[in-house]
Chains A and B, each alone.
Chain A
Amino acid sequence: MIDIIYRIGHFVLITVFSMALGLLFMGIARKIVARIQKRYGPPVYQPYLDVLKLFGKDAITHGFIFDFGAIMALGGVIATLFFIPLGSWQLYSMEGTVILVIYLLAIASLGMAMGTVGSGNPQASVGISRALMQMLGYELPYLVILFALIYRYQTSSVWGLMQAQAGSFLNWNLFAYPLMAAVAFVVLIGMMGKKPFDSMIAPSEIGSGPVVESGGKYLGMLLLQKSITIIIELALYVNLFLGGAENILIFTFKMLIVWVLATMFGSLFPRFRIEDGIKFFWKWPLGIAILQAIYIIT
């Protein structure tokens, strides 16, 4: 009994922590973008207020699939979260293989896609179709990188891959395989839908795409989903390339550095067209990733 309560407490703690941290990161990103554009920018805690406000607002739904999609999106990312080691916090990270994490994230995407397309708005469909096409662009180099890493360290659990880089910081994959780390960084920007690769949420073109019909608590839940997704993607990057961390503070610090860099890169570029984005991913990141993988397997 106590064990179960302890476990549930763990679940809730990690969920709440990641939501809070993700929202904070989003606030920091808005501040950074504002400073780059010579603006003062909203306060760092703005996303918290946004979420609070959204949950207080009225909302409309377009039927049960719309509700189900929002729940599936949030539930999917929360489930994924438990498989990732966050510093010393690790619930099930031993069991979770890194490929599993990538595919679990797809549950959330599928839920969101289903819910928003279920609203009957064609702009949502356009956004989703763009997002899926882009996903094919960035996931391919990422999976090639994972292939190489798993082959190199002979383990596919995130925890194992993190442990393999223990010791000096020179063992970090960032320094051991810098090309791969760079590719993963570009992929990370694509995954998080930041600037050069944000055609699926283009607000003035397709009315913010997937979230076009979401208001009130639906938007709030998707915001929370986004915040947890950010944490998952950053945590994966930190675990795979920056050697993880001993405790949650250092881990958060490493995530923050990656996030700030990604935000800065993101705010410098204009937007890719869809097919140009895919072509870019298949030309440079995929090419470099394949070269690096060939180097590792031979």
Chain B
Amino acid sequence: MLTNYIFIPIAAAFIAYILNKRNRKAGAVITALVSAYLLLSLTALYGRWDITQSFNLSLMGYKIDFLLAVNPLSWLFAVMTAAISILIALFSINSQENFKFSSVFNLNFLIIIGSMIGIVFARDFLTLFIFWELMTWTSFYLISAGKKKMAGRAAYRYIILSAGAAYAFLMAAIFIFQQTGSFAFDSAAEFLVANSPAQSIMLLLVISLPFIVKAGIFPLHIWVKDAHGNAPKEFSPFLSGMMLKIGIYGMIVVFYQLSFFKIIENTIAYRGLPLLSYLFALLGAVTIITGTILAIRQEDMKKLVAYSSISQMGYIIIGIAIATPLGFSGSMLHLMNHLIFKSTIFLALAAVIYRTGTTKMYEMGGLIFRMPLTFAAYLTAIIALAGIPPTNGFISKWVIYQALIEKGYLFLAIAAFFGSIASFMYVFKPLSTVFLGQLKPQHQNIKEVPLLMKIPMLILILVIVLFGVFPGIQMNIINQISGYLGIETVNYTLYSIQGANGAWNSLLIFNIFSAGFIIALLLFSFAKKSKLVGLLDTYSSGEYITDAESYHYAYQYYRPFDRLFDNLAAKSLTDFYETLTKNLVRSGEGLRRALAAGKLQNYALYSVLLFVILAAVGWII
């Protein structure tokens, strides 16, 4: 039964909360067990795309249906949620020993898992909304549980944006309900196609608002950095890997299942693409560029990776918005791969934070000799993120490039290229300043993290390489999704993908890369053996170094580049929103003084007036 997947985690959440009060590790163990159960039973569900479940509720004369169903798309998202939860739970068994709010963490985390599965299985607006709100509020508590001073403020920014968007969504849903008498997606889609295009487009744009916020797309991305930077270190991988993706899920639902693309099919087009889709793609492009430029500037590693998440979301949006088979497949590939490598990055950084207790990059250095496995995990993940073959990150970006070049979308392609090359810069910054360079004296005695924290990282490394060599595994499910949504499929085999103007064969590339590596290794090992010297014995213009701290280049790593964008970055969007709020409050204050002047009767009068106006509007519509 589908409800099991939703309510078992939610029920387990309270058990975990109670047990965790007794034993710090119990909550995380329960989380891991529940997610393992979810993963196993979801795997058993594979291929059974006909399971549905529904409940009826009569309320004030309205008959409301709650519909749940499985399809390849929901299945993929549910499996991804369960899989990443296992790894995070395993990781947090040890890492939460000293975390004050660990019981609250596990409570909320399990509820989020349940509600996310609820979201992806939901087939009507009301179910979606209920679980969406559950997820939003629980994640709000998780983000504000971070120890930082700013955590509360970041969480408020997140909740205000999310809640505002969600209520707009609810309004649109209720409007559709009034017209059709049902919250179900199917009937809504029928109604929207039949309705006047202008109104349908407006409704769908409003419906997609909460998803845009959650995915961190350009004008509404301001919550991402602070929320990621301040969330508990174990929650960041989930926040960045899964919760951003759930926004993408929502957008796919809007685009395909609510037939947004069908409605705008015959509107004005640019290069064969409806202008509205192109605008969405352009939003993705702007997201890539802003995310990238801001990521390069960060000195806090979690914020840096958060901005990089924003920029990677841009790729996914571009691929979905241009709606070609290659674009969609590339997006879905990138979505999965981004989950994998971004979780790896966040887990590796969480391991570093666990040992050093800081997130400022310039306070660290040379950790590679103390934490080699963490370094290996980070290195593999950034190779994937930067899109360097033979890892999974390259494949998905390559497919997206193919899609863009096929149609000749020049400006989208420039943004994609920019984000890809600039990602070398921002991923190299933590590599260089945290893991390489001089080891700080206060970190001399750091040890590698315990075994239970190593296992998730190891698994993720293997998965990155596995999907890098055999993208066919992913393409299998993606083609099922494409088929389900009515998109043409892409030709693939286990280790190759057919693009628009060229093919990608990852096994071959993996082999040739190994060959090149072996030739270099042979050359290296035949030459004279070298002598190992310490890190402080480096060229320093003849002067001998005594303290490592002053011989580490870490602060403002890309200053010359940042200087190019100083003016732009000074005008941050956050400031813009804050000024806007301030002005709104001020004008509201002025209005109040002019109209109400503190008399209670006036307020009553205005309320009645407003009600009448609303009623009139509702009647007219």
A and B in direct contact, judged by CB atoms within 8 A = yes
Residues on the A chain within 8 Å of B418, using CB = 136, 140
Tell me which of A11, A107, A207 contacts B539 (CB under 8 A).
A207
Asked if residues A75 and B414 are in contact (CB atoms below 8 Å), the reply is: no
The residue on B at minimum CB distance from A106 is B388
At the interface, yes or no: B521 with Cβ under 8 Å from chain A?
Answer: yes
Stretch in B254-262, B300-308, B423-431 touching the partner: B423-431
At the interface, yes or no: A50 with Cβ under 8 Å from chain B?
Answer: no
Tell me which of A55, A82, A126 contacts B516 (CB under 8 A).
A82
Minimal beta-carbon separation of A7 from chain B (angstroms): 9
Minimal beta-carbon separation of A174 from chain B (angstroms): 22
Asked if residues B389 and A107 are in contact (CB atoms below 8 Å), the reply is: yes
Asked if residues B530 and A61 are in contact (CB atoms below 8 Å), the reply is: yes
Residues on the A chain within 8 Å of B408, using CB = 151, 297
Minimal beta-carbon separation of A72 from chain B (angstroms): 7
Residues on the A chain within 8 Å of B404, using CB = 147
Residues on the A chain within 8 Å of B421, using CB = 135-136, 139-140, 143
Asked if residues A103 and B523 are in contact (CB atoms below 8 Å), the reply is: no
Asked if residues B389 and A103 are in contact (CB atoms below 8 Å), the reply is: yes
Residues on the A chain within 8 Å of B368, using CB = 63, 65, 118
A76 to B517, CA, bound (A): 7
Tell me which of B437, B521, B531, B561 contacts A117 (CB under 8 A).
B437
Asked if residues B501 and A125 are in contact (CB atoms below 8 Å), the reply is: no
Residues on the A chain within 8 Å of B386, using CB = 106, 110
Q: Which of B515-533 contact A (CB under 8 A)?
A: 515-521, 523-524, 527-528, 530-533
Asked if residues A139 and B417 are in contact (CB atoms below 8 Å), the reply is: yes
Asked if residues B531 and A92 are in contact (CB atoms below 8 Å), the reply is: no
Tell me which of B369, B413, B527, B535 contacts A147 (CB under 8 A).
B413
Minimal beta-carbon separation of A179 from chain B (angstroms): 16
At the interface, yes or no: B598 with Cβ under 8 Å from chain A?
Answer: no
Residues on the B chain within 8 Å of A110, using CB = 383, 386, 388, 424, 428
Residues on the A chain within 8 Å of B517, using CB = 71-72, 75-76, 78-79
Q: Residues 159-190 of chain A: 1 if any B CB is under 8 Å from the residue's CB, otherwise 0?
A: 01000000000000000000000000000000
Residues on the B chain within 8 Å of A12, using CB = 519
Asked if residues B502 and A156 are in contact (CB atoms below 8 Å), the reply is: yes
Tell me which of B425, B501, B513 contacts A132 (CB under 8 A).
B425
Known: A122-B551, A275-B560. A114 touches B501 (CB 8 A): no
The residue on A at minimum CB distance from B527 is A217
Q: Residues 119-145 of chain A: 1 if any B CB is under 8 Å from the residue's CB, otherwise 0?
A: 111110110111011011001100110
A15 to B428, CA, bound (A): 29
At the interface, yes or no: A113 with Cβ under 8 Å from chain B?
Answer: yes
Q: Which of B368-421 contact A (CB under 8 A)?
A: 368-369, 379, 383, 386-389, 394, 398, 401-402, 404-405, 408, 410, 413-414, 417-418, 421
Residues on the B chain within 8 Å of A212, using CB = 538-539
Residues on the A chain within 8 Å of B137, using CB = none
At the interface, yes or no: B432 with Cβ under 8 Å from chain A?
Answer: yes
Known: A82-B516, A106-B424. A119 touches B410 (CB 8 A): no
A126 to B560, CA, bound (A): 11
At the interface, yes or no: B197 with Cβ under 8 Å from chain A?
Answer: no
The residue on B at minimum CB distance from A56 is B528
Grouping DSSP codes into helix (H, G, I), strand (E, B) and loop, the A interface class, with mixed when no group exceeds half, is helix
Minimal beta-carbon separation of B109 from chain A (angstroms): 35
Asked if residues B533 and A60 are in contact (CB atoms below 8 Å), the reply is: yes
Known: A122-B437, A133-B558, A213-B538. A58 touches B530 (CB 8 A): yes
Total CB contacts across the A-B interface at under 8 A: 244
Asked if residues B535 and A207 are in contact (CB atoms below 8 Å), the reply is: no
Residues on the B chain within 8 Å of A297, using CB = 408, 410
At the interface, yes or no: B161 with Cβ under 8 Å from chain A?
Answer: no
Residues on the A chain within 8 Å of B387, using CB = 103
The residue on B at minimum CB distance from A70 is B524
Asked if residues A59 and B531 are in contact (CB atoms below 8 Å), the reply is: yes
At the interface, yes or no: A87 with Cβ under 8 Å from chain B?
Answer: no
Residues on the B chain within 8 Å of A129, using CB = 432, 553, 557-558
Stretch in A22-30, A31-39, A94-102, A243-251 touching the partner: A94-102
Asked if residues A120 and B437 are in contact (CB atoms below 8 Å), the reply is: yes
Stretch in B128-136, B205-213, B472-480, B504-512 touching the partner: B504-512
At the interface, yes or no: B274 with Cβ under 8 Å from chain A?
Answer: no
At the interface, yes or no: A104 with Cβ under 8 Å from chain B?
Answer: yes
**B515, B528, B560 pick with most chain A CB within 10 angstroms:** B560
At the interface, yes or no: A154 with Cβ under 8 Å from chain B?
Answer: yes
At the interface, yes or no: A273 with Cβ under 8 Å from chain B?
Answer: yes
The residue on A at minimum CB distance from B550 is A122
Asked if residues B437 and A100 are in contact (CB atoms below 8 Å), the reply is: no
Minimal beta-carbon separation of B115 from chain A (angstroms): 39
Q: Residues 257-298 of chain A: 1 if any B CB is under 8 Å from the residue's CB, otherwise 0?
A: 000000000000000011100110000000000100110010
Tell me which of A61, A83, A95, A128 contacts B532 (CB under 8 A).
A61
At the interface, yes or no: A88 with Cβ under 8 Å from chain B?
Answer: no
A151 to B438, CA, bound (A): 47
A14 to B54, CA, bound (A): 65
**B369, B398, B437 pick with most chain A CB within 10 angstroms:** B437
Tell me which of B388, B438, B501, B560 contacts A107 (CB under 8 A).
B388
Tell me which of B499, B530, B560 contacts A133 (CB under 8 A).
B560
Asked if residues B531 and A147 are in contact (CB atoms below 8 Å), the reply is: no
Tell me which of B379, B389, B536 contacts A100 (CB under 8 A).
B389
At the interface, yes or no: B245 with Cβ under 8 Å from chain A?
Answer: no
The residue on A at minimum CB distance from B519 is A78
Tell me which of A62, A67, A92 contacts B533 (CB under 8 A).
A62
A274 to B557, CA, bound (A): 13
Asked if residues B417 and A144 are in contact (CB atoms below 8 Å), the reply is: yes
Residues on the A chain within 8 Å of B250, using CB = none
A119 to B518, CA, bound (A): 23
Asked if residues A114 and B520 are in contact (CB atoms below 8 Å), the reply is: no
At the interface, yes or no: B342 with Cβ under 8 Å from chain A?
Answer: no
A119 to B472, CA, bound (A): 39
Asked if residues B424 and A132 are in contact (CB atoms below 8 Å), the reply is: yes
Residues on the A chain within 8 Å of B275, using CB = none
A58 to B532, CA, bound (A): 11
Residues on the B chain within 8 Å of A97, using CB = 398, 499, 502, 504
Asked if residues B417 and A113 are in contact (CB atoms below 8 Å), the reply is: no
Minimal beta-carbon separation of A139 from chain B (angstroms): 5
Asked if residues B521 and A71 are in contact (CB atoms below 8 Å), the reply is: yes
B residues bordering A, Cβ < 8 Å?
366, 368-369, 379, 383, 386-389, 394, 398, 401-402, 404-405, 408, 410, 413-414, 417-418, 421-422, 424-425, 428, 431-432, 436-438, 499, 501-505, 508-509, 512-513, 515-521, 523-524, 527-528, 530-541, 548, 551-554, 557-558, 560-561, 563-564
A-B contact pairs, 7 of them (CB 8 A): A76-B513, A79-B513, A79-B516, A121-B540, A122-B553, A140-B417, A294-B410
7 A-B pairs with least C-beta separation = A79-B516, A75-B517, A78-B516, A122-B553, A120-B535, A74-B520, A75-B520
If A67-B530, A119-B538, A133-B425 are given as contacts, then 7 extra A-B residue pairs at C-beta distance below 8 Å, sorted by A number, are A75-B519, A113-B428, A117-B431, A120-B535, A120-B538, A129-B557, A139-B421
